[in-house]
Amino acid sequence: MRKFAKISAVLAAMVLALAFVGCKDDDDDDDDPSVVTTWAISEDGYKAVLTFYDNGTVKLEGSDEEGDFSETAKYSGDTTKDGEIVITYDDGETGTAVIKTESGKTYLEWDYETYSKQ
């Protein structure tokens, strides 16, 4: 019976040791923000994509007759439902985008342009 107790104690110690060795910091805490919503427009030589991220940033990327462009700003508001989104640029200037749903189609109006939800 003592032999069984010793073997059990050794096995328990091994299990505990493996449990602690097996634990590592494997959390998927990457610093990359996740996309919340994406909106796009393509008309008359102008193409652009607005991407809203969960860290409060928005990125505008696209091209027009002058070439490619890219700009990043901050936003506040819920980009997943109808309402206003306030966009604040690095220089402090602000603009307002409006999300609307009509006849089952959701779109975003910003800077006199209408973007479709992607």
**DSSP one-letter string for 61-88:** EEEETTEEEEEEEEEES-TTSSEEEEEE
16 is a domain residue:
no
CATH (domain of 61): 2.40.128.500
Residue 101 domain-assigned (yes or no): yes
pTM higher than 0.85, yes or no?
A: no
More confident residue, 7 or 107: 107
H-only helix segments in the chain: 2-22
Tokens of 14: 């091994």
Task: Summarize the confidence of residues 59-67 as an average pLDDT.
Answer: 95
Is residue 66, in this structure, part of any structural domain at all? yes
What's the structural domain count of the chain? 1
Residue 85 lies in a domain: yes
pLDDT at 23 over 70: no
* CA separation for the pair 36, 118 (Å, rounded): 11
Phi and psi torsions of 91, nearest 5°: -85, 5
54 occurs within a structural domain: yes
Confidence band (pLDDT; 50, 70, 90) for 117?
Answer: very high
Question: Residue 67 falls within a domain, yes or no?
Answer: yes
Q: What is the mean pLDDT of the chain?
A: 85
State how far the Cα of 69 lies from the Cα of 78, in Å rounded to an integer: 25
User: Could you list the residue range(s) of the whole structural domain that residue 75 is in?
Assistant: 35-117
Residue 11 domain-assigned (yes or no): no
